[in-house]
């Protein structure tokens, strides 16, 4: 019997070529695995293609709900935007795929799992580290790092082996799930050029967006969105609907220079309509219900959580420890936020919460207020005392030097 390997299979050029390459160069039985994470692929069609390439077996799994509940929602609670921009759609999905690869490998008694990542990106780290942490004895193979084929050579190889690959003329590399879409390659590698409109699918051009703004109200419970415009919705359906609404207004486009884990600066284009709206709404609600001290410290925790996930350390114990703190803060992040969408932008215009720390009677500038202004003078004196003393000393030393 031949050894078995489990391949993370998308149905695209790289992973289709990988099937034949593994069969010919390693003499193994290839078992393919495809996971639906909201990218709306035809799992049946992908399975048929895998079988047409003589795979030993094929697994299809719809992990969209698990992805949202166990990966996306924690990201919302952590306000996870890598370098302040990227909602980490791909980064959040990879550890879930890796976990399923391990489960299938153990079920099939496979010797290795295989992915189609290059040696330049972040995904190779996310797959390799997660697999090795979950199954230290399981080998991880990344043939694209070793075979040295260019895209043209891959296409030639595919034609020679009778592998049907659609959109061979498409110059872009695209990864998509429910939380967002990333677009790379082609003219986008020229950082001094504006992206062509043809690359976008989830968002309309802000110039072509409706001239009339639209409002959406999002209800949160324990830091997670549970209702949209007064209607309670299941997590996946809520994100799908918000993607549709916000994308119609051109909300969610990101174009930035990103620092990859491997040290390369990369020009990245993302579309994430629902993610942008939900992140902005969540951060706004946190400001209303958390204290200044909680907010200041949570920024540090959020940043570290985001960094861990981006750099492939989802499985690291520190992430779980950080989430314990984050989850504790989210107990009070309940309420509604009204967001305004217009011409590529979204911002909060109203918010309410039963846990609100905002007190109008304290904040009002009217004469009748619960705030005793007489306290201000003593507070200012004590608050500024260290600064005052330091400057007195500074002037004293300056005069002594002049003498």
Active site residue 137: no
Give the pair of three-digit tokens for residue 299: 């920024």
Q: Which of 123, 128, 284, 302 is catalytic?
A: 123
Task: Find out whether 336 and 220 touch, Cβ atoms under 8 Å.
Answer: yes
Q: How would you list the strands of the sheet with 57-62, edge to edge? A: 57-62, 29-36, 4-8, 112-114, 139-141
Element (DSSP H or E) covering residue 210: none
Give CA separation, 237 vs 65, 68, 226, 275, 387, in Å: 10, 10, 10, 14, 54
Q: Which of 10, 60, 173, 356 is catalytic?
A: 173
Q: Residue 115: which of 106, 107, 132 has the closest Cα? A: 132
Active site residue 14: yes
Q: Which of 14, 128, 284, 302 is catalytic?
A: 14
DSSP 282-340: HHHHHHHHS-HHHHHHHHHHHHHHHHHHHTT-TTSHHHHHHHHHHHHHHTT--EEEEEE
Rounded CA separation 383/367 (Å):
25
Active site residue 94: yes
296-328 burial: b if 16+ Cβ within 10 Å, else e: eebeebbbebbebbbbbbbbbeebeebbeebee
Active site residue 42: no
Task: Find out whether 119 and 12 touch, Cβ atoms under 8 Å.
Answer: no
Active-site residue set: 14, 94, 123, 173
């Amino acid at each position: 019997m031949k050894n078995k390997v489990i391949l993370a299979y998308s149905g695209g050029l790289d992973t289709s070529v990988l099937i034949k390459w593994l069969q010919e160069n390693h003499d193994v039985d290839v078992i393919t695995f495809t996971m639906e994470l909201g990218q709306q692929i035809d799992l049946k069609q992908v399975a048929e293609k895998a079988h047409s390439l003589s795979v030993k077996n094929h697994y299809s799994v719809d992990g969209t709900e698990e992805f949202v509940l166990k990966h996306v929602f924690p990201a919302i609670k952590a306000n996870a935007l890598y370098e302040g921009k990227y909602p980490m759609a791909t980064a959040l999905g990879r550890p879930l795929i890796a976990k399923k690869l391990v489960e299938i490998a153990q079920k099939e008694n496979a010797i290795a799992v295989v992915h189609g990542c290059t040696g330049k990106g972040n995904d190779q780290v996310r797959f390799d580290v997660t697999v090795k942490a979950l199954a230290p004895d399981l080998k991880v193979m990344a043939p694209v790092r070793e075979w040295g084929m260019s895209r043209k050579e891959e296409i030639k190889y595919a034609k020679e082996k009778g592998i049907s690959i659609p959109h061979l003329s498409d110059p872009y590399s695209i990864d998509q799930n429910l939380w967002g879409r990333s677009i790379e390659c082609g003219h986008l590698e020229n950082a001094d050029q504006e992206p062509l409109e043809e690359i976008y699918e989830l968002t309309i051009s802000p110039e072509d967006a409706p001239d009339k703004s639209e409002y959406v109200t999002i209800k949160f419970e324990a830091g997670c969105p549970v209702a949209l415009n007064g209607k309670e919705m299941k997590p996946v359906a809520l994100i799908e609907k918000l993607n549709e609404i916000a994308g119609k207004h051109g909300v969610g486009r990101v174009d930035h220079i990103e620092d990859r884990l491997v040290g390369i600066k990369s020009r990245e284009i993302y579309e994430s309509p629902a993610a942008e709206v939900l992140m902005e709404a969540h951060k706004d609600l946190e400001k209303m219900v958390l204290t200044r001290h909680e907010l200041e410290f949570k920024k540090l925790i959020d940043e570290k959580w985001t960094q861990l996930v981006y750099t492939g350390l989802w499985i690291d114990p520190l992430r779980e420890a950080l989430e314990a703190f984050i989850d504790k803060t989210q107990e009070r992040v309940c309420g509604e936020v009204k967001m305004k969408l217009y011409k590529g932008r979204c911002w909060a215009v109203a918010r309410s919460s039963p846990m609100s720390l905002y007190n109008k009677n304290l904040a009002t500038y009217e004469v009748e207020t619960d705030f005793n202004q007489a306290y201000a003078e003593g507070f200012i004196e004590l608050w500024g005392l260290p600064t005052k003393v330091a400057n007195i000393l500074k002037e004293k030393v300056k005069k002594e030097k002049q003498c």
